[in-house]
Amino acid sequence: MTTANHRRTAILKAAAAAFLMLLPALFCREVKAIPASKTGFYFDTVVTVSIQEAPDPEGLAESCFDLMNELEHLLSRTLKGSDVWRINHAGGESVTVSSRTADLLRFGLSWAGQTDGALDITIAPVSSLWDFTSGQNNVPKADDLEKALAHVDYRNVTVEGNTVTLADPEAMIDLGAVAKGYAADALRSLLEEGGCRSALVNLGGNVLTVGSKSDGSAWNIGIRKPFGEPEEVIAVVPAADQCVITSGSYERCFTADGKLYHHILDPKTGISADSGLNSVTILSASGAAGDALSTACFVMGLEDGMALIESLPGIEALFVTTDNELFPSSGWPGSPM
């Protein structure tokens, strides 16, 4: 077994144990025994599906991971042969993709327009220069960032039916800001079609609740305290048939020359967004919308991000500043710890 596979196995085992240990404290403090729970590794994150009520919980959990595997082979930027990989290596030639990929690209382009590029799915030339996982802690050279930024512009992407074209041959797509949220929505549809009445899905900071707990009460979703211990929460929000999605500077980061660098990149500068925030959590029915907004609002900052949230019906947010002060939107149902 390769070193990478050893690391992947260790991460899965540790994450599964941690999730099961924290589940009662963070997510469902009164939850009963879970009929089926399954953990896997997709989109560079640990995914755990925990089903409480369904006709065939074990079979349904297995189907969830079949779907995750399918989506990763469509949407991953780094997986050779995926739809996104083929687009990025087509040199500007048109590429025919799956309906799922085309739909998500249209969705990402829509939010890019609504956020004036705070979310930009063509961030890949920049994001590929950064490495937040190896421990190398290298900051890209300014010249390299400048060259990469010249190819970041969502307006270079055209989607007509299932055909995708990049007007700039050196542009590249990265769906990391929306893929897990989209996957959450797809998993919800699958679970509901399978007769699931109660389930909790954790996609590495993206939490999907299907129905309520078996006793009819809402799930209690813990929001991690930025830079605190893994089990330390800063707020708890009740959720039922909703997604709770957090983007935070503490998730993947390193310090170099006394400065913190994190994986939420500003498409206009190519470096980590310096918006005065530690995290943004979105509460919404749509996982894809929540994923897009958590990233965009983090880049936009508290004032502009809050204004956007307040303009969107059915979506709430909790902003946590760099001094860990909490700013909830007007309809936020949660409470600080």
pLDDT tens-digit series, residues 111-129: 999 999 999 999 999 999 9
Nearest 5°: the CA angle 207, 58, 186 is 40
**DSSP code for 156:** G
Query: Which CATH class, in words, describes the domain spanning 79-166?
Result: mainly alpha
Q: Which residues pair with 239 in a beta bridge?
A: 219
Domain ranges, ordered by start, for the chain: 3-74+181-336, 79-166
H or E element, residue 228? none
Residue pair 173/84 in contact by the 8 Å Cβ criterion: yes
Per-residue confidence band for 230, with pLDDT thresholds at 50, 70 and 90: confident
d(CA 49, CA 203): 9
Residue 11 has pLDDT above 70, yes or no: no
Q: Which residues pair with 207 in a beta bridge?
A: 202, 244
d(CA 308, CA 143): 33
Tell me the mean pLDDT in the region 212-240. 94
Q: Which residue has the higher pLDDT, 132 or 7?
A: 132
State which fold the 3-74+181-336 domain adopts. Answer: T-fold (3.10.520)
- The 10 Å Cβ neighbour count of residue 16 is 16
Residue pair 247/280 in contact by the 8 Å Cβ criterion: yes
Same fold, 3-74+181-336 and 79-166: no
Residue 6 has pLDDT above 60, yes or no: no
Crossing angle between the packed helical segments 287-300 and 302-310, to the nearest 10 degrees? 150
Q: Against a cut of 0.85, is the pTM above it?
A: yes
Structure tokens at 192: 């509901």
